[in-house]
Structure 1
Amino acid sequence: MKTLNQQEATLIEKSKDGDSESFEKLILQHQKKAFNIAYRMLGNLEDANDVTQEALLKAYRAINRFQEKSSFSTWLYTIVTNTCVDFIRKNRKTKVVYLDREYEGEEGQYKREVYDDENGPEELLEKKEVQRLIHDAINLLNYEQRKVIILRDIEGFSYREIAEILDCAEGTIKSRINRARSNLKNLITEKIRGKEGYHEL
């Protein structure tokens, strides 16, 4: 578990006293990551902006309940993730997440990083198509599996961090990720079989 540095601890204490400027400074370094989580879970720029703002407002209102049992970032990302899940439950509609697209937002550009092995145009085109298949398949997962795949395989959180964010045992998280990856693999395989010219990833 990460410990708070003195500057962060001071900002938290001032935020608990109702100092909104201190809270703004506190979340400054976490805003972009919070938005990225929301965007990749929801797949829509406008929804991600709205949900991120809602989550940050929830965090501000709940800051007095932060007991420093985890890092502030983990606590904040828990609120972001839960707010995304609530949004998905209320808006049960399919969203397409093309994580290789780049968008310009208030905090700068957001883009899913992809591997670039200096391939030629044909290879790059095929890779983009494979990425599109993967992204489409992610959106077919239920939101429980989608969020663990996003937190682990896209955002790169550790098993321990994901366990803290989702308030589950680490072993449970590993099991969920394994199931999600297995389902994702099956979905991708089905999509590839349905497209001529794709025989393997």
Structure 2
Amino acid sequence: MPKEQFYLVDKAVGGDEQALEELLLGVQDMVFNLSLRMLGSPHDAEDASQEIYVRVITSLSTFKKESAFSTWVYRVACNHLLNYKKSMFAKMPPLSFEYYGADIDAGHVAAGGARAVGVDEDLLAQELKMSCTNVMLQCFDSESRLIYVLGTMLKVDSKICGEILGITPEAYRQRLSRARHKMAGFLSEYCGLASSPRCGCKQRVGYAIQNRRLDPANLEYTKLAQAEASAFIQAMEEIDSQSHIFANLPRYRSPQKVQDYLQKILHSEDMETILSGEVQ
């Protein structure tokens, strides 16, 4: 597979749009899911994914073939997302597990609003679960979030993660263990998915609607098409008992908006300039 990818990279750098398209289509879901977990909202993930595609294209000639193409794309994406300042959460005061826990304790109201708009309550609870888990990740600082997402949700090898972050695999595993321990403690205390009585997705639906955190008329996660689970399943050692809550969250296909943007770039008259790396 790497040799085939290297061949496609050579062709793409030489101006072969079909080779470039094949390369990017192979990583588009990966890029979107990483962006979604890092930024906490589908809209921000769409915007960031588009920017990452441009960075990948303009930097393609610098790919030295010292790793798999997908590993290199991870590195480009991670560097971009670690410094991303345009997301909704980047513009807000930093979240913390303490703040989120207090919000959970305060956030139980009747879910009458859900029934009033005629939306199935189970569907709303599932939507809230997807939203809540992604928002929960924002309680980490950006590097800890990236470490947790790569190790627990995307199951990237520790050697690769260490290379991305510029640390040893051992240091990465230590930081991942600390992040998992912190998340596990929070989940066991507050999250109904981990059998805590303090919160359940259905219990929070009414509160989320009341505070405009959940819009029954616009279920963002429900609208996303799920990717084939087999494409993401890899062996992973269970380090804590709560890892499955995040490890088993669905992986999504790149939204049509992002796919359309990618096609627009690929078939642009300026593709030769973009491939040359002259676009800033």
Q: Which whole-Å CA distance do the structure 2 matches of 1:131 and 1:44 have between them? A: 10
Matches of 1:58 and 1:133, distance apart in 2: 30
Alpha-carbon distance, 1:45 to partner: 1.2
Contact 1:4 1:71 in 2 (8 A): yes
Q: Which residue of 2 aligns with 1:104?
A: none
Structure 1: distance between partners of 2:94 and 2:188: 20
The aligned residue for residue 159 of structure 1 is: 158
What is the number of residues matched between the two proteins? 167
Distance 1:144 1:89, change over 3 A: farther
The CA deviation at 1:166 is 2.5
RMSD: 3.3
The residue aligned with 2:182 is 183
TM-score (norm 2): 0.51
Q: CA 1:133–1:52 in 2, change beyond 3 Å: closer, same or farther?
A: closer
Are residues 1:168 and 2:167 paired?
A: yes
Q: TM-score, normalised by structure 1?
A: 0.69
Gaps of 5+ in 2: 96-124, 200-241, 243-280
Q: Which runs of 5+ in 1 are unaligned?
A: 97-125
Q: State the alpha-carbon separation in 2 of the partners of residues 49 and 129 from structure 1.
A: 19
Question: 1-side partners of 2:143 and 2:70: how far apart?
Answer: 21
- Partner secondary structure for residue 87 of structure 1: coil
In structure 1, the residue corresponding to 2:2 is in which secondary structure? coil
Contact 1:66 1:75 in 2 (8 A): yes
Partner of 1:114: none
Tell me, yes or no, if structure 1 residue 50 matches structure 2 residue 8: no
1:4 is aligned to 2
**Which structure has the larger Rg over C-alpha atoms?**
2
1:146 and 1:15 mapped to 2: Cα distance?
33
- Select 1:38's aligned residue among 35, 40, 48: 35
CA pair 35-127 structure 1, distance change in 2 beyond 3 A: closer
Distance between the aligned counterparts of 1:41 and 1:16, measured in 2?
A: 29
Shift of 1:155: 1.0
The 1-side partners of 2:22 and 2:129 are apart by 40
